[in-house]
Amino acid sequence: MPLLQETDYGTPLSVINTLVTLEIDGQPVTVPAGTSVMRAAVEAGIGIPKLCATDSVKAFGSCRLCLVEIDGKRGTPASCTTTVEPGMHVRTQTPKLAKLRRGVMELYISDHPLDCLTCSANGDCELQDMAGAVGLREVRYGYAGENHLSAPKDESNPYFTFEASKCIVCSRCVRACEEVQGTFALTIQGRGFESKVSAGGKPFLDSECVSCGACVQACPTATLNEKSVIQMGVPERSVITTCAYCGVGCTFKAELQGDQVVRMVPHKDGKANHGHSCVKGRFAIGYATHKDRILNPMIRAKISDPWREVSWEDAISHAASEFKRIQAKYGRDSVGGITSSRCTNEETYLVQKMIRAAFGNNNVDTCARVCHSPTGYGLKATFGTSAGTQDFDSVEEADVMMVIGANPTDAHPVFASQMKRRLREGAKLIIVDPRRIDLVETPHVKADYHLALQPGANVAVINALAHVIVTEGLAAEDDIKERCDAKAFELWRTFIVQEKNSPESLESVTGIPAAEIRGAARLYATGGNAAIYYGLGVTEHSQGSTMVMGMANLAMLTGNLGRRGVGVNPLRGQNNVQGACDMGSFPHEFSGYRHVSDDSTRKMLEQDWHVALDGEPGLRIPNMLDAAVDGTFKGLYVQGEDIVQSDPNTKHVTAGLEAMECVVVQDLFLNETANYAHVFLPGSSFLEKDGTFTNAERRIGRVRKAIAPMAGLEDWQATMALSNALGYPMNYTHPSEIMDEIARLTPTFAGVTYQKLDELGSVQWPCNEEAPEGTPIMHIGKFASGKGKFMLTEFVPTDERSTARFPLILTTGRILSQYNVGAQTARTPNNIWHSEDVLEIHPSDAENRGIRDGDLVSLASRSGDIALPAKISERMQPGVVYTTFHHAMTGANVVTTEFSDWATNCPEYKVTAVQVQLAKKTSEWQQRYGEMRRQNTRILEDDAVMAHGD
């Protein structure tokens, strides 16, 4: 489509239900009460000149350009700050208004460089537009007087510039930083003529700015402008698509010139992000065209050989013949595959279908194995559905938020902004986290309780909270009686009231004073609508699934389900981790979470797919690796995942891969897993294909092809070719046909079509006959399974405990600027904020070891050791250290262990007993791996062997 210029209504939408009718320029207009005159006019198709108003922030009334005349009212009120009244008569164009507006514009332009023709915002500048709209023809004041034309330019941020000489001090950027993002990094410094936008008196890069882009988007001039626009010029066409970063699933406009992406701009109609973005989705797009992209298929006989480029046909044919050879030699179950949470629903569906139909087994798994698999298990056991209960907008009615094991400002920043907005409105906040995450105290937000528990004590905390609610008579008894299984509840009540579950008894386990637990429990139970938001700090434990059930118990116990403002909400890590699970990527489930042993489902699929299907569960990723080491698993197809970097106990992962005879990796880059691969199939980025992603709120959004696939095939086409070569025919001509099949065979997706997604923008499953436009809130009236089921959640301490040899506990996680294994973000200027993984350590633990900030330290566990720089941080509690896994050469997962969640094998990333000591050099593993990596990424080019990236 041509460049999409979204309508700016000037002020936000009013949420008041009653309607008001007024007359603007003789035209009757009916709008919700509370609407500004400016917005009412725009809705009637009448534009009022404006500069300081934009509909993402509240009216400010400073620019004096949007003046109107209203019958019966004195003067010329600003239309942005004047709300509509019944029967009001408004005039937007009169000689008096025209004179006033021209005068105002004349003053603005008298202190503005007149370089429109060479300005980067030429053609995309509201100041320019307004000069035209008010008919400005001359500026009488000249430039002789004092002005701001020589104000300095701040180019410190890698993605945008701040050109102060072009600033009109409208405060839109400051207000966007406050109201939209909630960071409060910008301010107006000085008064009167000295007033200027300031990032706390520092360059943008050194300030509190998180580079979300809200200020750039709000700026009406070229003052805050993308460097890509400065370099390339304004874009000419838009493609509406879904972000390929975190599970928030923001809708973006990819804005292009030809096939060059100029910028990514958050789409106002996006139902998950409402026009907001974060530094990753907004700016970190350079990876898509990075020189490291592999654009030709490659094969090799041994992993120590250099890669040899071949045609798609040869690569596919080689991979298929290898898989067939292995199955003939070692048996049908000796091969499997891994679907990707970074690929589309259609692609993951196709991979799992190929494995079940062409391989003839259920050895398919996905990266949810290492993140939210306990969510699926725990919520299905209690609520009957493996998904979160709410839409994001539900938080607008939450009175109490309990954030458990999640760090939304870093990992889900756009939703964090929505949370912070509600918190600034007065909602209460309970944080359960060993670390002092930013939400504990950030501008205008302060947690009412920070339960800084010992890592591994989640279930003890949730039991203690439930114990208080039951024993203090705070349970929603009527709700439980009506909605929950009575027998299961009575069994649970008998369990939870036992003294062993009291906060006092568990104090030594949780490390939290009992009074704090009691206070938090009372607040959650009695504070109004209470919503739980949680992340991998819940799931990545030996009792991850138990904890998910514990949270579900708590919500059922207090009646916090089935309406807005409440619920149990997983904050999913990757963009399509929900979708990958929905699509049947687990070895025990078909799409829609139906067990492979369910005869009726299996028969239906067999009829549709024309193939016999296995009714026994297949291997999970760690099981595949174990079986490989045992010699019974020999071939693996990995689409868009990097298990060598992301999965626990790296040495075990690589031992498993080394034991295989054919590993096929399909990815944008030669990732770490490709070091152990025999076939490489080039992947396509989200810009290069059609499909859908499903975000954390079950929202299915379209991914639309903006440019042609750089390697020639979209990922689904490569999978289809492999399936055909294996002998199982697939003949889709477009991903919409794959979605049609998904809808035909999956009851929760029965009503999903591309046409509907185009019409509605997105839909949340279940989307079927009962809910043709989707289901924002689950379990209204009754649970998906009929009755909610309380599950017993006995606290079982992990076997991973600190010892004299390994006295500290390591937890791993993520930060704002990097994403997962860094494949994308580490190939962008985001590295300016985080160029290496560091070990956060409490000052007392550091002092005991003679460690100073920045020192190289060794981090050792029973699995292995690495070396990385130390960062002394009071965010940590004594005895607990923290690092990220964003950079391959750090090898953070060399240290993590094979221990995992009891129900799902989700790794226990959050609890590893470690020792930290000063180090003089990198670890032996890091040195050895570095050398192996250099060898194994070599590519034959024109008869010469080149190390990749040379």
Partner 1 sequence: MKPKLMVHMANQIADFFAAYPHEEAVAGVADHLKKFWEPRMMRQLHEYIAQGGEGLHALVLEAAQKN
- List residues near partner 1 by CB under 8 A: 333, 362-363, 491, 495, 542-543, 545-546, 587-588, 595, 597, 616-620, 623, 626-627, 629-630, 632, 792-794, 796, 799, 898-900, 902-905
Alpha-carbon torsion angle 763, 765, 766, 767, nearest 10: 30
- DSSP-derived secondary structure letter, 747: G
Compare residues 460 and 919 and give the one whose CB is closer to partner 1.
460
- Residue identified by tokens 């991903």 is 735
Round to whole Å and give the CA distance between 881 and 860.
12
Closer of 573 and 618 to partner 1 (Cβ): 618
Residue 459 dihedral angles phi and psi, to the nearest 5°: -65, -35
Query: Is the Cα torsion angle 824, 830, 832, 833 positive or negative in sign?
Result: negative
DSSP H helices in 385-513: 408-411, 413-424, 458-471, 477-483, 486-496, 503-510
Phi and psi at 385, nearest 5°, equal -140, 135
| Of 535, 531, 501, nearest in space to 518 by CA | 501
- In order of 309, 356, 605, 801, the CA distances from 602 in angstroms are 40, 11, 5, 43
The residue (of 38 and 496) whose beta carbon lies closer to partner 1 is 496
Query: In the complex with partner 1, which residue's Cβ is closer, 318 or 602?
Result: 602
Least distance to partner 1, CB of residue 792, Å: 4
Sign of CA dihedral 70, 75, 80, 86: negative
The distance of closest approach from Cβ of residue 546 to partner 1 in the complex, given in angstroms and rounded to an integer, is 6
Cis check: omega of the bond before 766, within 30 degrees of 0: yes
CB of 491 to partner 1, least distance (A): 8
* CB-nearer residue toward partner 1: 620 or 886: 620
Question: Smallest distance from the beta carbon of 377 to partner 1, in angstroms?
Answer: 9
C-beta of 801: minimal distance to partner 1 in Å?
14
Nearer to partner 1, 402 or 657 (CB): 657
Name the minimum Å distance from CB 821 to partner 1. 25
Q: Rounded distance, CA 505 to CA 402, Å?
A: 22
Concatenated DSSP letters of 177-221? IIIII-----EEESSGGG-EEEBTTB-GGGSS----SHHHHH-SS
CB of 898 to partner 1, least distance (A): 6
Residue 380 CB, nearest approach to partner 1 (Å): 11
Please state, in angstroms and rounded to a whole number, the distance separating the CA atoms of residues 417 and 246: 14
CA 728 – CA 324 distance, rounded (Å): 12
As measured in angstroms, the least distance from the Cβ of 627 to partner 1 is: 7
Minimum Å gap between C-beta 679 and partner 1 is 25
Closer CB to partner 1, 41 or 628, in the complex: 628
Smallest gap from residue 820 Cβ to partner 1 (A): 26
Output the smallest distance, CB 648 to partner 1, in A.
12
Nearer to partner 1, 221 or 543 (CB): 543
The interaxial angle of helices 373-383 and 544-557, nearest 10 deg, is: 40
Measured from the CB atom, the residue of 221 and 905 that comes closer to partner 1 is: 905
Amino acid letter at 638?
V
Nearest-angstrom CA–CA distance, 564 and 572:
20
> Would you give the DSSP letter of residue 562?
S
CB of residue 214 to partner 1, shortest distance in Å: 44
Report DSSP state, residue 17.
-
Q: Closest approach of Cβ 376 to partner 1, in Å?
A: 12
- 569 and 689 in contact (C-beta within 8 Å)? no
Residue 128 or 539 having the CB closest to partner 1: 539
The nearer residue to partner 1, 151 or 491, going by C-beta atoms, is 491
Q: Residue 577 Cβ, how far from partner 1 at the closest point, in Å?
A: 19
Q: Are the CB atoms for 451 and 515 separated by under 8 Å?
A: no
| Apex 627 CA angle, 621 and 628, nearest 5 | 90
Which residue, among 626, 578, 573, 623, has the nearest Cα to 812 in the 3D structure? 573
Closer residue to partner 1, CB minimum distance, 93 or 597: 597
Nearby residues of 271 by Cβ (< 8 Å), 6 or more positions away: 251, 391, 393, 699, 761, 762
Output the six-digit token pair for 399: 């009175």
| Contacts with 666 (C-beta within 8 Å, 6 or more apart), sequence order | 637, 638, 639, 640, 680, 681, 682, 683, 715, 718, 719
Smallest separation (angstroms) from partner 1 to the CB of 374: 12
- Minimum CB distance to partner 1 smaller for 381 or for 696: 381
Nearer to partner 1, 520 or 619 (CB): 619
Of 280 and 588, the one with the shorter C-beta distance to partner 1 is 588
DSSP calls for 242-258: E-SSBTT--EEEEEEET
Does residue 267 contact residue 255 with C-beta atoms inside 8 Å? no
**Cβ distance to partner 1 smaller for residue 223 or 327:** 327
595 DSSP β-pair partners: 589
Cα Rg of the chain (Å, integer)? 29
CA nearest 728: which of 592, 612, 603? Answer: 612
Distance CA 930, CA 705 (A): 36
CB of 465 to partner 1, least distance (A): 18
Nearest residue to 138 (alpha-carbon basis) of 116, 113, 109, 159: 109
CB of 616 to partner 1, least distance (A): 5
Structure tokens at 515: 């009074």
Nearest residue to 88 via CA among 6, 29, 150: 29
Are 551 and 459 contacting, i.e. CB atoms less than 8 angstroms apart? no
Q: How far apart are alpha carbons 733 and 610 in whole angstroms?
A: 19
Helices marked H in 93-242 — which ranges? Answer: 95-109, 126-133, 172-175, 214-218, 227-232
